[in-house]
Structure 1
Amino acid sequence: MVGGSDIRRIEEREREERYNAFNKSANDRKRVLYWIGFLEGALSSRRIEAGEQPAILAESEKFADFFDDPDASDLAEDIRSRCFSSEKDMMTQLREIIADKSNELGNASTSKETDELNIFLGFCAGIICDGRVLESEVRALRNRFMRSERLREEVAFYPLCKAVEEALADDMITEEESEDIEEWLGQLVGDGYADTGFTNIGNVAKLDDPILDPETIELKDSVFVLTGPMRMGPRAYIEKEIKRAGGTMASRATRKVDYVVISSTASRHWRTTHFGTKIERARELIEEGCKLRFVSEVALEKALSGKG
Structure 2
Amino acid sequence: MLDKHGQPTATNFNLAQNVAKSLLSLQGILKGLIADKQLNELELIFLSTWIKSHRQLERDGDVLDLLDNIDDIVADGIITADELADLQAQIEDIIEYGVLAPQCVEDLTNELLGFVSGISADNIVTLDEMTSLVNWLNDNPKAVECWPGNVLHKKLTDILADNIVDAEELADLTQTCKMIAGQQFLETGAAAGMSTEFCAQPLDCLPANIETICFTGKFLIGSRATLQKQAKDLGIKPIKDVTQYLDLLVIGSLASPDWRFSSHGRKIEQALMNQQKGCTTLIITEENWSSLTH
Q: Is TM (by shorter chain) over 0.5?
A: yes
In the alignment, the residues of structure 2 paired with residue 21 and residue 272 of structure 1 have an alpha-carbon distance, to the nearest angstrom, of: 20
Instruction: Choose which of 67, 71, 78 in structure 2 pairs with 1:77.
Output: 71
Report the AA paired with residue 34 of structure 1.
S
TM-score, structure 2 as length reference = 0.60
Distance 1:267 1:168, change over 3 A: farther
CA contact (8 A) 1:189 1:275 kept: no
In the alignment, the residues of structure 1 paired with residue 30 and residue 56 of structure 2 have an alpha-carbon distance, to the nearest angstrom, of: 17
In the alignment, the residues of structure 1 paired with residue 106 and residue 258 of structure 2 have an alpha-carbon distance, to the nearest angstrom, of: 14
Describe how 1:243-282 pairs up with structure 2 within 5 A: 274=258
Describe how 1:24-43 pairs up with structure 2 within 5 A: 24-43=15-34
Instruction: Choose which of 159, 174, 178 in structure 1 pairs with 2:166.
Output: 174
Distance 1:148 1:66, change over 3 A: closer
Q: The residue matched to 1:51 in structure 2 has which SS?
A: helix
Show CA shifts across 1:191-217 (max 9, x none): 1422320122xx489x8xxxxxxxxxx
In the alignment, the residues of structure 2 paired with residue 204 and residue 192 of structure 1 have an alpha-carbon distance, to the nearest angstrom, of: 10
Q: The residue matched to 2:286 in structure 1 has which SS?
A: strand
Instruction: Choose which of 113, 116, 126 in structure 2 pairs with 1:121.
Output: 113
1:52 aligns with 2:43: yes
1:91 aligns with 2:114: no
1:145 aligns with 2:137: yes
In the alignment, the residues of structure 2 paired with residue 40 and residue 122 of structure 1 have an alpha-carbon distance, to the nearest angstrom, of: 8
Shift of 1:32: 0.9
1:194 aligns with 2:191: no
In the alignment, the residues of structure 1 paired with residue 188 and residue 174 of structure 2 have an alpha-carbon distance, to the nearest angstrom, of: 14
Show CA shifts across 1:247-298 (max 9, x none): xxxxxxxxxx99xxxxx99999xx766459xxxxxxxxxxxxxxxxx63546
Gapped regions of structure 2 (runs ≥ 5) = 205-219, 222-247, 261-284
In the alignment, the residues of structure 2 paired with residue 177 and residue 17 of structure 1 have an alpha-carbon distance, to the nearest angstrom, of: 43
Show CA shifts across 1:142-195 (max 9, x none): 111122220121143222211112122233333432233223323322114223
In the alignment, the residues of structure 2 paired with residue 173 and residue 265 of structure 1 have an alpha-carbon distance, to the nearest angstrom, of: 36
CA contact (8 A) 1:40 1:123 kept: yes
In the alignment, the residues of structure 1 paired with residue 289 and residue 25 of structure 2 have an alpha-carbon distance, to the nearest angstrom, of: 32
In the alignment, the residues of structure 1 paired with residue 69 and residue 56 of structure 2 have an alpha-carbon distance, to the nearest angstrom, of: 13
Gapped regions of structure 1 (runs ≥ 5) = 1-10, 208-226, 239-256, 259-263, 277-293
In the alignment, the residues of structure 1 paired with residue 8 and residue 288 of structure 2 have an alpha-carbon distance, to the nearest angstrom, of: 40
CA contact (8 A) 2:23 2:57 kept: no
Q: Sequence identity of aligned pairs in percent?
A: 19
Instruction: Choose which of 5, 8, 11 in structure 2 pairs with 1:20.
Output: 11
CA contact (8 A) 2:41 2:84 kept: no
Report the AA paired with residue 73 of structure 2.
I
Q: The residue matched to 2:82 in structure 1 has which SS?
A: coil
Report the AA paired with residue 21 of structure 2.
K
Show CA shifts across 1:207-242 (max 9, x none): 8xxxxxxxxxxxxxxxxxxx4476459xxxx9xxxx
TM-score, structure 1 as length reference = 0.58
Report the AA paired with residue 74 of structure 2.
R
Q: In the comparison of the two structures, how many residue pairs are matched?
A: 219
CA contact (8 A) 1:61 1:72 kept: no
